Amino acid sequence: METIRQTVEVKSDRKLEINLPDNINPGLFEVVIVLQPIAMRNESQTSLTSFIGAAKGSFSTPEEVDQFIRQERDAWK
């Protein structure tokens, strides 16, 4: 038994089109539909942790944060 996994989009007409590899001969097959959770459906979804340190003016290391805080405190004196 061989398994072929494909992610396909179901359109509003609820029809499904699957293009199989050329080595699949015509015949009777069992097709199983696995519904993905909404969070998995958006492949372009970005992990929130990828935003850490990505903003302009952000700090790259904890040491840079400490240095900035020290400079700010020194400026208050």
Domain spans of the chain, in order of start? 50-76
Q: Residue 34 carries which side chain, given as an amino acid letter?
A: V
Q: Are 21 and 4 in contact (CB under 8 A)?
A: yes
**Is the pLDDT at 40 greater than 60, yes or no?**
no
Give the separation between CA 69 and CA 73, rounded to whole angstroms: 6
Find the mean pLDDT for residues 60-77: 88
Read off the pLDDT of each residue in 4-22 and give the average, rounded to a whole number.
87
Token reading at 47: 């992990």
Q: Is the pLDDT of residue 68 over 60?
A: yes
- Which segments of 1-77 does DSSP mark as H helices, in order? 38-41, 62-76
Q: Is the pTM of this model over 0.75?
A: no
